[in-house]
Amino acid sequence: MADSRPRDVQVAEVGAATLVLRSRTWDRLKFEVEYARQKGTTANTYLIQAEKIALIDPPGESFTQIFLEQLAQQAYLQKINYVILGHVNPNRAATLKALLERAPQITFVCSKTGAIALKSLFPNQDIRILAVRVEEVLDLGEGHTLQFAFVPTPRHPDALVTFDPVTRILYTDKLFSTHLCDDPIFDENWKALAEDRRYYFDCIHASQSKQVETALDRLSVFKPKIYAPGHGPLVRFSLSRFTFDYREWCEQQKTQEANVTLLYASAYGNTAAMAGAIARGLTKAGVAVESINCEFADSTEITQAVEKSDGFILGSPTLAGHPPTQIQTALGLVLSSAAKTKLAGVFGSYGWSGEAVDLLESRLQDAGFALGFDTLRVKFTPSDEVLEQCEAAGAEFAQNLRKMKKTRASRQPGMDSQSDRTEQAVGRIVGSLCVMALNNDNTHTGLLTSWVSQATFNPPGLTIALSREQAEELLPHNDAPFVLNILKEGRNVRRVFQRAIAPGENRFAELPTHEASNGCLVLDDALAYLECRVQNRMECNDHWIVYATVENGKVLEPVGVTAVQHRKSGAYH
């Protein structure tokens, strides 16, 4: 049962003249919705009270009011000299503006990249900004001489950590965070946090593990005794263990069976949000991802990443009808260096037009690359539903990548050129997208397939091809009933059946359904459905063929077009 406590700010002393103000909610905020989590949020802000006062990482707008009330209650508002930002997030804008209104004497401290982002949040306001350098220190008095290190990642290119030599606290912002709402200030019960810590890493850092490793190397020079992250308990009792875990998790990303390079640029953060969701889908499906923000990468880094990957995905905004220069450069590098056997993908956001996404798609297809998911386009800010679609697209890409790798591994040496041509020709066979719904001992299961064909007129019958992996789990026995749901073009039902799910999870739970007369589920959003019964089965190499007769059927939407899968290769579904 969800905790019903109201939002609050928990205040505690964590070091000499140092407080933590933990803005807490047991409700589901953006992280919980976006990452399917239901453990609440703790947003940590730190206050160093020396001769000068520094506030580190104010919370987002969900906590603006209660946070400022707490500062006012503690009589700190008019005394704050510096606000240090581990990264500049538009979500913090409301809190930062409210702080400035009440304490105009504030100087913001951030990285040079963060200063650019900060100015965009205050376009018509003259604000004090100190863009610190690596060797620069900030003397608050009483020995609190703060030191800084830059730890940029594709997700947070302006990331900055802060170290206080008096308390030996390292303020790590997104590094070593955990998303949950709880009461303990420190990690005394750190073993119980293991699952939540790994979950956060997989969601936020797995796709940028290369940069995280570099960050860990830079942090080692400080010799901290406490990590003060932006979310969750402070790390004191398991500091060495947690650091080791981070390095081990980064190493694990290198040993995945497949790896993908995710290249993107983002003008307003919308394309970056899509990139993060796609990366999550890939990571959940067991594929290693290297995310590269092309605005902060050189040509050598991009080329090397693409060459060593099994596939690549390009994402771009549209600026004045074109991709930004960095994406045009990345596209040129991909076309000149990537083998045509690599799987590709395209996504992007736009304001008034989407020419950049169309350009990327057409250039890659003209060059002979197969696409691992239907190109994703979103106007303005992606909604939660769109982000779910992006995550499902990542899972679909992972599935198709494995199939492609498996097919290529089974070839005879020297046959690649002819096989590529054959695969491209076979891939031009199209099929209707359908969901096959079965009921096994009152457990409803379903799978997406496009290998369906009418086989007989009298009685009406059809064949369905199931991959060996699907057949091992779902192959129906002779005389077994099932419903074949024929999907409608323009609906996103198929995304539900493409993404990875936890064992025992019911894919139908989030979709409107009703039972057919044979006890299997009909999708209310399907174009039509057929109630079928298995008559025969046959094993065919890497697939099983099921022949079934149709006992009943109905068109649910008389006006509509059947969803069809268009493939560029016959090597995968």
Say what the pLDDT of residue 33 is: 47
30, 260, 261, 337, 499 from 291: Cα distances, Å: 22, 9, 6, 18, 20
User: What is the C-alpha separation between 392 and 473, in angstroms, rounded?
Assistant: 21
Mean pLDDT on 501-507: 69
CA end-to-end span of the chain, whole Å?
41
332 within some domain: yes
DSSP structure string for 2-60 = ---PPPEEEEEEEETTEEEEEEEESS--HHHHHTT--S-EEEEEEEEESSSEEEE----
- Token pair listed for 231: 């979310």
Other Cβ atoms closer than 10 A to 232: 25
| pLDDT one-digit tens code per residue, 207-253 | 888 899 999 999 989 999 999 999 999 999 999 999 999 999 999 88
Same domain, yes or no: 444 and 300? no
Overall number of domains in the chain: 3
In whole angstroms, what is the distance from residue 501 CA to residue 178 CA?
22
For residue 532, give Cα distances in angstroms to 117, 409, 481, 529. Answer: 58, 36, 6, 10
Helix (H, G, I), strand (E, B) or coil at 316: strand
Tokens of 310: 């099994």
Asked if residue 441 is part of any domain, the answer here is: yes
Q: Which two tokens stand for residue 26?
A: 């047991």
464 located within any domain? yes
Closest CA to 46 of 157, 115, 144, 135: 144
Same domain assignment for residues 467 and 481? yes
Shared domain for 442 and 346, answered yes or no, is: no
- The pLDDT tens digits of the residues spanning 135-162 come to 889 999 999 999 999 999 888 889 999 9
Residue 347 near residue 374 (C-beta atoms within 8 A): no
Of the three residues 221, 253, 285, the one that is the final residue of a domain is 253
Does residue 573 fall inside a structural domain?
Answer: no
* pLDDT at position 120: 86
Residues 370 and 512 in one domain: no
Write out the DSSP string of 467-503: EHHHHHHHPPPTT-EEEEEEPBTT--HHHHHHS---T
Any idea what the CATH number is for the domain that residue 391 is in? Answer: 3.40.50.360
Indicate whether 193 pLDDT > 70. yes
Per-chain mean pLDDT for the chain: 88
pLDDT of residue 500: 62
Identify whether residues 192 and 50 lie together within a single domain. Answer: yes
Distance CA 521, CA 526 (A): 11
Please give the pLDDT value at position 412: 53
Q: Is residue 125 part of a domain?
A: yes
pLDDT in tens, 554-570: 999 988 889 887 665 66
Q: State whether 263 and 243 are in the same domain.
A: no
The residue behind tokens 């003249």 is 17
Task: Render pLDDT for 241-267 as a digit per residue (tens, 0 to 9).
Answer: 999 999 999 998 887 778 999 999 987
Instruction: Kindly report, residue by residue over 30-63, the tens digit of the pLDDT.
Output: 554 455 556 788 999 999 999 999 999 999 988 9
Q: What CATH number is associated with residue 82? A: 3.60.15.10
Distance of alpha carbon 218 from alpha carbon 159, whole angstroms: 12
Backbone angles phi, psi at 255, to 5 degrees: -105, 10
Do 375 and 262 fall within a single domain? yes
Mean pLDDT, residues 458-478:
87
Residue 415, domain member (yes or no): no
The pLDDT confidence band at residue 501, using thresholds 50, 70 and 90, is: low
* 441 against 162, higher pLDDT: 162
Residue 419: the pLDDT is: 60
DSSP 504: T
Task: Tell me: pLDDT of 2 over 60.
Answer: no
Within this chain, do residues 222 and 85 fall inside the same structural domain, yes or no? yes
Q: Which of 236, 265, 120 is nearest to 170 (CA)?
A: 236
When pLDDT is cut at 50, 70 and 90, the band that residue 1 belongs to is very low
Tokens of 294: 């092309």
CATH of the domain at 456: 2.30.110.10
Residue 469 has pLDDT above 80, yes or no: no
Q: Which of 278, 337, 342 is nearest to 302 (CA)?
A: 337
Of all residues in the chain, the percent with pLDDT exceeding 70 is 92
Identify the domain containing residue 534 by its residue range: 428-565
- Of the pLDDT bands very low, low, confident and very high (cuts 50, 70, 90), residue 422 is confident
380 and 489 share one domain: no
Domain assignment of residue 419, yes or no: no
pLDDT higher than threshold 60 for residue 3: no
Q: Is the pLDDT of residue 167 over 90?
A: yes
Alpha-carbon gap, residue 111 to 475, rounded angstroms: 57
Using the 3D structure, point to which of 231, 253, 275 is the last residue of a domain.
Answer: 253
pTM passes above 0.75:
no
- On whether both 236 and 261 belong to a single domain, the answer is no
Residue at 539 is within a domain = yes
Do residues 495 and 392 make contact, with C-beta atoms less than 8 angstroms apart? yes
Same domain, 158 and 76: yes
- Please tell me the distance from the alpha carbon of residue 485 to that of residue 477, in angstroms, as a whole number: 19
Domain closes at, from 253, 283, 310: 253
Distance of CA 481 to the CA centre of its chain: 37
Q: Examine the domain organization and report whether 345 and 247 are in the same domain.
A: no
The partner residues of 129 in beta bridges, in order of sequence, read 108
pLDDT the model gives residue 411: 57
Instruction: Give the H or E element holding residue 289.
Output: strand 288-293
